[in-house]
Amino acid sequence: MGWGVRTITLVVSGRVSFSNPVRQPLFEFEDCLNGGQPKAEYAAARLNKIHPGIVTQVPTTPHLFPKPNLWRTRCRFLLMDSRDSRWLPTVIGAAKDKIALNAALGFDTFVVMRHGSRGASASTNAETGTLQRHYCNDIVAPTDSLTDRTLDQMCTVTRPGLAPIAATTAVYLLATLTQHPQGSRAPVPPPTRDISQLPSADDDLSLQAYEKEGFTVLLKAFNDQKYFEGPTGLDKLLDEGQLEVLESVDWDEDEDDAAGGDGDNF
């Protein structure tokens, strides 16, 4: 709001939990009681108290995403709890040539990054780099990233202060893009960990498939987490990576065992 944004659409189906108020200043302790109040509705009400001139929108079912308004917004912030939930918005954002900014929290780290629009992602210039539609160069296809995770691997448990720092960084990134002559197609520094071209291939494949088949290809990806792994060669790369890990393991016998001792056998 300090940068002049006057229309904000909140899309979230969750309820306020007891871990939220200390990290998210739009909520109060009372909002957590009785199972928690709807996040979007209460956040919108608090925004209007802070700035009465702000226009807040809270889409509700069964018309959660009215098509005339869905892509009217210039930017969308991805603030979800999992990386797999961020994949689809980045693909659609690239297809619609819209800015997508991702902010994610770890236990004691955070990441803020900009995802590519069609114009930016088409760049292959080594000096400008290439924007991706999914966590930079993670060697992973859209899959379940929440099941069997420990608490320290979920954003629910994070170091105090990281949430506002990450949010502020994301807002400044948006302000920088909107003031750049090329907007969402502004050049980006090359990644320092660009070790593989496969993520780019996965991006191109998913974007082309979405533009051609629409929801049909999305349904395939939702039902089969390995849907994009085969065509991009990601499955082969993962197999090779696992083989390298096994080959790098030190299989030497324990000194105790080598000497004929009765060392513990774990």
- pLDDT number for residue 219: 80
With tokens 């098509």, the residue in question is 67
Nearest of 215, 70, 228, 73 to residue 141 by alpha carbon: 228
Q: Which residues contact 101 (CB under 8 A, 6 or more apart)?
A: 75, 76, 77, 78, 112, 113, 114, 115, 170, 173, 174
Nearest of 207, 167, 176, 184 to residue 73 by alpha carbon: 184
With tokens 């302000």, the residue in question is 175
What letter would DSSP give residue 15?
B
- 75's tokens: 């930017």
Query: How many helical (H) and strand (E) elements, i.e. helices and strands, does the chain have?
Result: 10, 5
Asked if 75 is an active-site residue, the reply is no
Tell me how far apart the alpha carbons of residues 235 and 219 are, in angstroms, rounded to a whole number. Answer: 20
- pLDDT number for residue 26: 92
Tell me how far apart the alpha carbons of residues 266 and 259 are, in angstroms, rounded to a whole number. Answer: 17
Per-residue pLDDT of the chain (266 residues; tens, 9 = 90+): 989 898 898 888 889 999 889 888 899 999 999 999 999 999 999 999 999 988 887 775 545 555 555 567 788 898 887 777 787 788 778 888 888 898 888 778 888 888 866 654 444 444 445 565 554 445 555 566 666 666 656 656 677 888 889 999 999 999 988 888 887 778 776 544 444 444 544 566 677 777 787 778 778 777 777 776 665 556 666 665 554 544 555 555 555 555 555 544 43
- pLDDT number for residue 37: 94
- pLDDT number for residue 169: 92
Nearest of 80, 105, 211 to residue 157 by alpha carbon: 105
Q: Among 32, 75, 136, 155, which one carries the catalytic annotation? A: 155
Q: Which residues contact 5 (CB under 8 A, 6 or more apart)?
A: none
Question: Hey, where are the domains in the chain?
Answer: 1-73, 74-248
Enumerate long-range contacts of 4-7, CB under 8 Å, 24 or more apart. Answer: 6/53, 6/54, 6/55, 7/54, 7/55, 7/56, 7/57, 7/73
Amino acid found at 105? L
- pLDDT number for residue 117: 67
To the question of pTM greater than 0.85 for the whole model, the response is no
Q: Is CATH 3.40.50.720 what the domain over 74-248 is classified as, yes or no?
A: yes
